[in-house]
Amino acid sequence: MKKIAVLSFAFCETFCDQNSSSRINNSDKTFEKAKEVLPTLKHDVFVDILPPHVSVRDFKIKTDATKIDFTLKNRDSIFHIDNVFTLNSLVDDVKQEVNGSNFDFIIRPEEYDIFIIGIDLNGVFINTIKQLEALGFKVFVLSNLAKLFNKATSTFIQQSGVKFCSYKTAENIVSNKNNNKRVQNARRKTVSK
């Protein structure tokens, strides 16, 4: 069964804080729901995708998954060489930076399905979905943990191979994968006896 990588787009003070001039309507509610749900949704990697120089002080999502900070310097594609993954090294807690073109080396399509949440879901987001699909990822947008800017984004999602589902459905997808894994393991044990 594949692991789950959650890509989070733009939960930061610039877009979520009540006092920000760039605040997106209801983004604070979407963030609060994500903060509540993500600790209960089984996932293996959490990728926090943010533009450079934004503050996330009050908009951090706690998760037990491996956390990867991703700085989006080039908005044409998250896979652009100018974009940066910040990874914790296994040695001495040193941070290691990897460019965006290595996304599918770090999070491999044969190992992971992608769940998308966030509030800045247009532009680079649409290009990202196209590129994720081309790489062979199965992509799910968690509709009640995402704030879509416009109808074009919603229409694109519906016309692509992306699954548009609630986080409850995502929980079922994850638990079904775990159940299928248990059944497969039980079958293997039965066969090996």
pLDDT in tens, 145-174: 777 667 777 777 777 777 767 767 777 777
In terms of residues, how long is the chain?
193
Collect all residues with Cβ–Cβ distance below 8 Å to 2 and sequence separation of at least 6. 110, 111, 112, 113, 138, 177
| Residue predicted with more confidence, 153 or 71 | 71
For residues 117 and 142, give the distance between their C-alpha atoms in angstroms, rounded to a whole number.
6
Contact 93, 47 (CB under 8 A): no
The single-letter code of the amino acid at 53 is: H
Out of 3.30.930.10, 3.40.50.850, 3.90.1150.10, 3.10.20.90, select the CATH number for domain 3-192. 3.40.50.850
Domain spans of the chain? 3-192
Q: Is the dihedral of CA 185, 5, 46, 177 positive or negative?
A: negative
Q: At what angle do helices 151-159 and 124-135 cross, to 10 degrees?
A: 10
Alpha helices (H) along 50-150: 103-106, 124-135
- Nearest CA to 62 out of 11, 26, 14, 134 is that of 11
Looking at the predicted structure, is the pLDDT value of residue 110 above 90?
yes
Residue type, 166: S
pTM of the model: 0.79
